[in-house]
Amino acid sequence: MSSLFDQIEPLLFHVEKPARYVGGELGALEPLHGEGITSWLLAYPDTYEIGLPNQGLQILYEIINERVDAVAERTYAPWVDMEAAMRNEGIPLFSVENHLAAREFDIVAFNLSAELTYTNVLNMLDLGLIPLHADARGVDDPIVLAGGHCTYNPEPLADFLDAVVLGEGEEVVSEITDVVGAWKADPSRDRASLLKALAGVEGVYVPSLYAPRFEGCRQVGLDLLDPGAPEIVEKRTVADLGDWPYPKNQLVPLTEVVHDRLNVEVFRGCTRGCRFCQAGMITRPVRERPAAQVAEMVARGIERTGYNEVALTSLSSADFSGIEGVVADVVDDPNNGGQVSVSLPSLRVDAFTVATAAKIQQVKRTGLTFAPEGGTWRMRKVINKLISDDDLFAAVDAAFSQGWRRVKLYFLIGLPTERDEDVLGIAELGKRCVEIGKQYHQHVTVSASVGGFVPKAQTPFQWHSQNAPRELQRKITLLRDAAKKTKGLQIRWHEPAATAAEGVLSRGDRRIGAVLERVWRNGGTFQEWSEHFDLSLFQGALADEGLSMDDYTTRMRDEDEMLPWDHLSAGLHKDFLIGEYHDAIEEVGVEDCRWTPCYDCGACTNYDLEHVVASASAPAGGSQGTGQGLDLGRPVSVSLSRSGN
């Protein structure tokens, strides 16, 4: 094994952002490889700036490197200019620490966070001189793994992956290391015996041991090719986040990346129960980190990194028990001298949350973001995002009255049961928010950011159709026209075409592997970057494979139809998901089970887990999931005092 850096370096003068390729982050390790050591290459299939901050990858990086018998390095997708230069010079995909060739590692493990990065996985394998198809790999080729949220339906990538990990990696990463280490020491080893052994690890899915059968557009069967492999692969979940205070040494990159700040995960899981949200379904139950551990991780992290911003991360950080106390401790810590700001990604929509935001953004009040997701209360009951109009107006009122002048609202369109009035409701809400703002400021901006809904596996909407790009475009135009009349209201939207490709990959079956390969061979990398995205590549590839985009996107699935991911489990009972689906269509909301009785979704009971929540009662001040009779749609009274009155 030798460093490729001398070959790489002459290219660096001539590519964009060369710091992407040199490593050298604070916290990075340059581990020693050798006999008896299992080596992991943790790969993120997007650029360095996007991939570096990924917390999951950093957690595994530390856990693996803490072992005496294992090492981990990292790699990211080289940008197109670097890729061209590398191919031209015959330089394979390399790690950023020791600049070792990817194919020299025992395991190459991809983090799958977004479907449109899939073609980058293929490209990185190819650039790494690793046989693209799992069945073409020999005993000396790396084992190609994947983990991350997208693995709840990994079928589109099944041809290219040796094994897939479902759920959280903290524990399973060591079990896999043990299996691979033992296999490497076996002189008579072959690939098949390793795959069999991996299939025996809980949470590990080996696609080649399962063969789907298709009839027409549907999957009609799944043959288990190895009697030892589990019929259902269950996800892994860490019972107590307090046992895993990682990352301990968050990487501080030499060059600017997204989320370039200290990130401390305050809890995992979310039981708000938004029906469109895959993350909220697959990461249950809620497990809070002990507040004292959060405080310690923040204090040590600030001291160690020199960052002046810390994000308290989770799926809805304002729901953390005693969040005000945690925020106050950071903001008021005399060691921080008022110089450390706190950010709470994904604010809950209520006035109370705004008060917390006001506390943490005492200086820089640039903009606040809320995600009502649906334009009408009816729509929000369908998706179970139980925010009343009054909640939103109270939050917006609080924001404008406390000095903010810009409010950003996130919405989805193309949701199940959506009518034009729901879409127009977005403009109406936006208009009301502008009016509220005008009471406090002469000029305010309310921007409504609109994304097209893509149904995801393991959610209540997994059976439902999604809107075709044309229909999404029609709705965007409708909304834009309606919003034109309101000065100060901006409508922003995502490219509707990309939702079609994302839909094919989200709910695709194993036949989509060949489609992905065609898209990639036709130059379709970095498809999550709008300047590179090309729907025609997907349309052409589907046609060449005799498949129809509509079958994967706009087709309603039957509830008794076999879904390509039915053998993979996030713990959720199918009847729970179906019940939620029916409730959605009937516009019935459900409350958050962390503070109310259990609905037996399966996430706790199946794995003998429970919520780890410090406060037994819901946060005050808002109505979301707090047991205030929202399923009936009654408005919740919120009293606000205006400063100066």
Partner 1 sequence: MHVVPERLRLRYTKTGRIRYTSQRDVARAWERALRRAKLPVAYSEGFSPRPLLSFSLALPTGCESQAEFTDIRFSSSSPVVSPFSVGEEWSQESLEIISKELGALLPEGLDVTASSALGGAEGSLQEEVTSCLWIVEVTGMSAAQGTERVEALLGAANVPIERERKGRQVTDDLRPSVLSLKSEGPGQRVGSIRLSAELATKPRGVRPAELLQGIDPTLRLVRASRQAQLIEFEGTYLEPLTEDGRLLGVTNPTTAKVGR
Residues 305, 417, 465, 490: which binds partner 1 (CB under 8 A)?
A: 305
**Of 334 and 546, which CB lies nearer to partner 1 in the complex structure?**
334
**Of 291 and 299, which CB lies nearer to partner 1 in the complex structure?**
299
For the beta carbon of residue 268, count every other beta carbon within 10 angstroms.
21
- Footprint (CB under 8 A) of partner 1, residues 351-390: 363-364
Residues 4, 21, 475, 595: which binds partner 1 (CB under 8 A)?
A: 21
In whole angstroms, the minimum distance from the beta carbon of 308 to partner 1 comes to 6
Residues 30, 81, 303, 586: which binds partner 1 (CB under 8 A)?
A: 303
In whole angstroms, the minimum distance from the beta carbon of 257 to partner 1 comes to 10
Spatial distance between the Cα atoms of 339 and 501, rounded to a whole number of angstroms: 44
In whole angstroms, the minimum distance from the beta carbon of 275 to partner 1 comes to 39
**Which residue from 282, 248, 229, 364 is spatially nearest to 112, judged by alpha carbons?**
282
232 near partner 1, judged by CB under 8 A: no
Backbone dihedral region for residue 268 (phi beyond 0: left; psi -120 to 50: alpha; all else: beta): beta
User: Taking the mean position of all CA atoms in its chain, how far away is CA 638?
Assistant: 33
In whole angstroms, the minimum distance from the beta carbon of 409 to partner 1 comes to 23
Eight-class DSSP state of 20: G
**Of 6 and 140, which CB lies nearer to partner 1 in the complex structure?**
6
10 near partner 1, judged by CB under 8 A: yes
For the beta carbon of residue 243, count every other beta carbon within 10 angstroms.
12
23 near partner 1, judged by CB under 8 A: yes
Q: What does the angle CA 252 – CA 257 – CA 258 come to, to the nearest 5 degrees?
A: 115
Q: How crowded is the C-beta side of 200, counted as CA atoms within 13 Å?
A: 11
In whole angstroms, the minimum distance from the beta carbon of 338 to partner 1 comes to 5
Residues 1, 26, 129, 640: which binds partner 1 (CB under 8 A)?
A: 26
Q: Among 305-313, 463-471, 483-491, 526-534, which window interacts with partner 1 (CB under 8 A)?
A: 305-313
Yes or no: say if 315 and 346 are a contact pair by the CB < 8 Å rule.
Answer: yes
Q: Among 15-23, 267-275, 406-414, 477-485, which window interacts with partner 1 (CB under 8 A)?
A: 15-23
**Which residue from 457, 504, 510 is spatially nearest to 211, judged by alpha carbons?**
510
Q: Among 19-27, 172-180, 317-325, 543-551, which window interacts with partner 1 (CB under 8 A)?
A: 19-27
In whole angstroms, the minimum distance from the beta carbon of 47 to partner 1 comes to 15
**Which residue from 369, 464, 342 is spatially nearest to 414, judged by alpha carbons?**
464
In whole angstroms, the minimum distance from the beta carbon of 19 to partner 1 comes to 5
Q: Which two tokens stand for residue 644?
A: 């100066």
In whole angstroms, the minimum distance from the beta carbon of 256 to partner 1 comes to 6
**Of 135 and 332, which CB lies nearer to partner 1 in the complex structure?**
332
Q: Is 546 in a helix, a strand, or coil? A: coil
In whole angstroms, the minimum distance from the beta carbon of 368 to partner 1 comes to 15
Spatial distance between the Cα atoms of 586 and 288, rounded to a whole number of angstroms: 33
13 near partner 1, judged by CB under 8 A: yes
Q: In what order do the strands lie in the sheet with 368-373?
A: 368-373, 406-413, 445-452, 489-493
Query: What's 405-471 look like in SS3?
Result: CEEEEEEEECCCCCCHHHHHHHHHHHHHHHHHHHCCCCCCEEEEEEEECCCCCCCCCCCCCCCCHHH
Yes or no: say if 220 and 213 are a contact pair by the CB < 8 Å rule.
Answer: yes
Binding mask 245-264 for partner 1 (x = CB under 8 A): -------x-xxx--------
Q: Which residues contact 287 (CB under 8 A, 6 or more apart)?
A: 238, 239, 240, 241, 267, 268, 269, 611, 612
88 near partner 1, judged by CB under 8 A: no
- Footprint (CB under 8 A) of partner 1, residues 318-357: 334-335, 337-339
615 near partner 1, judged by CB under 8 A: no
Q: Among 306-314, 516-524, 553-561, 615-623, which window interacts with partner 1 (CB under 8 A)?
A: 306-314
**Of 26 and 224, which CB lies nearer to partner 1 in the complex structure?**
26
Spatial distance between the Cα atoms of 290 and 15, rounded to a whole number of angstroms: 45
Residues 48, 160, 267, 307: which binds partner 1 (CB under 8 A)?
A: 307
299 near partner 1, judged by CB under 8 A: no
Q: 26 - beta bridge partners?
A: 252
Where does this chain bind partner 1 (CB under 8 A)? 10, 12-14, 17-19, 21-24, 26, 252, 254-256, 303-308, 334-335, 337-339, 363-364
